[in-house]
Structure 1
Amino acid sequence: MTTRTPAATARSADCRTRFIFDDMPVRGQHVRLEEVWRHIAGQKQYPAAIRRALGELLAAGALLSSNLKTEGTLIVQVQGQGRLKMLVVEATSAGTCRATARWDTQAAVGDDENLRSLLGDNGIFAITLQPQDGEPWQGVVPLEGESIAQMLMNYMKRSEQLDTHITLAASDEACGGLLVQRLPESAPAPEAWEHVATLAQTVGAEELVQLDAHHLLYRLFHETPPRVFDAEPIEFACTCSRGKVSDMLLMLGGEEVGSVLEEQGSVKIDCDFCNAEYVFDETDINALFGMDVAAAVRGERARIQ
């Protein structure tokens, strides 16, 4: 289950690895996603700066979802009012994830633009826990920091009040992250924590996207090696379905859906995460609502004219 020497290939990916220091009150996690990230990044023509931020948030979501105590989904979301409207990652207790971004596609976005300049003012950073059984919980804080890692560390400081250091990186080929955290139940050990955090801060972006956990942890902590647990695989999976789209249409109501049907001849919904297309023709919509929706819309329009 554990090892103290680099034994895996430097290119292994799509997994999350936990570790703990037996002689220090510090735990940590490493994640590196390659095929998963390339699949997600290939769903849209993301500008480079937005793609990089989305990859960093994906790595963050994969790290944080390991803390899910019950079956469910963790949603990490950054919202802004600038050219970048939203970054969102969903990661599940089953080891699956999906991610997407929304932005003003008509606006210019420089390759090296600062994340905060893209988000604009009055943005928020939110984490939502959706257990499979039970009520959801959400924590929301204002945006603080110039990067996803800084925003997340500020969130952790505000919400959990735990000493945490996080480093995130993303390239066209892979994304990765490293999290180290002082154990919440431990007595204060500032020297031990500062030692681990200082070493963790030396991680470079290239190392995060290129090295597996064993090689990276050996490079960082070979003098005080942690106990490294078996890697946990991470896969892409989208939870969209025709049934969920049907429920959404029912929530919109017959008047709005019928108006679209009347104007376009069918209702088409694209999944923002995987680009799956769901098409409902007039027969489908009438069966869904149990009535001739388009005829009702036409009748109402004739009545008010």
Structure 2
Amino acid sequence: MTDQIQRFLFDNTNVRGEIVSLEAAYAQVLDKQAYPAPVARLLGELLAAAALLTETVKLDGTLSLEVRGQGALALLMAESNPGGELRGIARLSENQPLPAEDAGFRELLGEGHIVITLDPREGNRYQGIVELAADSLAGCLEDYFTRSEQLPTRLWLTADSVRSSGFLLQQLPKSIDQDPDAWRRIVHLASTLRDDELLTLGQRDLLYRLYHEETVRVFEPKALRFGCTCSRARIAQALHDLGEQELRDILQEQQSIDTQCHFCHTHYHFGAAEIEALIESPDAPAPTLH
């Protein structure tokens, strides 16, 4: 099984971890848009990171990672939820040339920041912002955990044109009986991991390759897949939020509204009568899809 996340922990230590592997879900994201190779790879890393963080923070809701930069890549976004659904998108800057085939993280984004949004089904929405101070997506996310979660966290992310993978280690609050050298030792071993191994080795094989001398407890893997949360109701609400005057201006100019989800390319059509109804309420009538 290629699209899954595997949680594990080390017995008698305060260290836990996760491995994520994506193939079909990653392919479906790339199938929606023709991205330059370095952009596709970075989007793959972000998808893996979103899955890892959703599982790490135990969020019952939607987690989104939004990377905004001033380089060739203006926006990178990925979303994940506890049901194992992932979606993502990238947008290039309009006023800059396409990135080179070997463009790295800093060249693609330049200066910028990451916005991490936790949107639980119940409770308050939370947003954290971290500057793009490191030279990799993994390094920037590690900075976020250091500052906001105050839990030592290490991330390894990689992607090629076919697969996307990620590996996370996190040190939990200590207890008296635990191995005091565990964190240093386990991170050191993970640092020997090569990108090609992370992309091609099975998750249990990878854990054995790194930690055959440790006692590792492995949990049942969780399946992941591409899934879009767009809906007619959400689009209708967004149109309603534009306000009466703007909707009437659109009606006068084109008599209908056609819009498309940027993530999955589902097309939504709203006729004149439906727009009139939207002015009063976002609860639009039955969908007209093309």
Does TM, normalized by the shorter one, top 0.5? yes
Residue of structure 2 in register with 1:113 after alignment: 103
Identity %: 41
Count matched residues: 279
Q: 2:210 aligns with which of 213, 220, 229?
A: 220
Residue of structure 2 in register with 1:180 after alignment: 169
- The one-letter code sitting in structure 1 at the alignment partner of 2:54 is S
- Are 2:69 and 2:110, in contact at CA under 8 Å, matched by a contact in 1? yes
- Alpha-carbon deviation of 1:83? 2.4
Residue of structure 2 in register with 1:91 after alignment: 80
Residue by residue over 1:1-32, the C-alpha shift from the partner in whole angstroms, topping out at 9 and shown as x without a partner, is xxxxxxxxxxx311100111003221100000
Higher Cα Rg, which structure: 1
* 1:129-278 → structure 2 map (5 Å cutoff): 129-186=118-175, 191-278=181-268
Q: 1:57 aligns with which of 42, 46, 70?
A: 46
Residue by residue over 1:84-123, the C-alpha shift from the partner in whole angstroms, topping out at 9 and shown as x without a partner, is 11111111122211111121256321111122222222x1
- Are 2:12 and 2:179, in contact at CA under 8 Å, matched by a contact in 1? no
- Are 2:21 and 2:163, in contact at CA under 8 Å, matched by a contact in 1? yes
- Alpha-carbon deviation of 1:290? 4.5
- Alpha-carbon deviation of 1:250? 0.6
Give the whole-Å Cα distance in 2 for the aligned partners of 1:194 and 1:32: 25
- The one-letter code sitting in structure 2 at the alignment partner of 1:81 is Q
- The one-letter code sitting in structure 2 at the alignment partner of 1:45 is A
Residue by residue over 1:201-225, the C-alpha shift from the partner in whole angstroms, topping out at 9 and shown as x without a partner, is 1111111221221011011111114
RMSD between superposed Cα atoms in Å: 1.8
Residue of structure 2 in register with 1:295 after alignment: none
Q: 2:68 aligns with which of 68, 79, 94?
A: 79
- Are 1:71 and 1:94, in contact at CA under 8 Å, matched by a contact in 2? no
Residue by residue over 1:21-71, the C-alpha shift from the partner in whole angstroms, topping out at 9 and shown as x without a partner, is 003221100000110110011111111111111100100110110134452
* 1:263-302 → structure 2 map (5 Å cutoff): 263-290=253-280
Gaps of 5+ in 1: 1-11, 292-305
Give the TM-score taking structure 1 as reference length. 0.86
Give the TM-score taking structure 2 as reference length. 0.90
Q: 1:25 aligns with which of 9, 14, 19?
A: 14
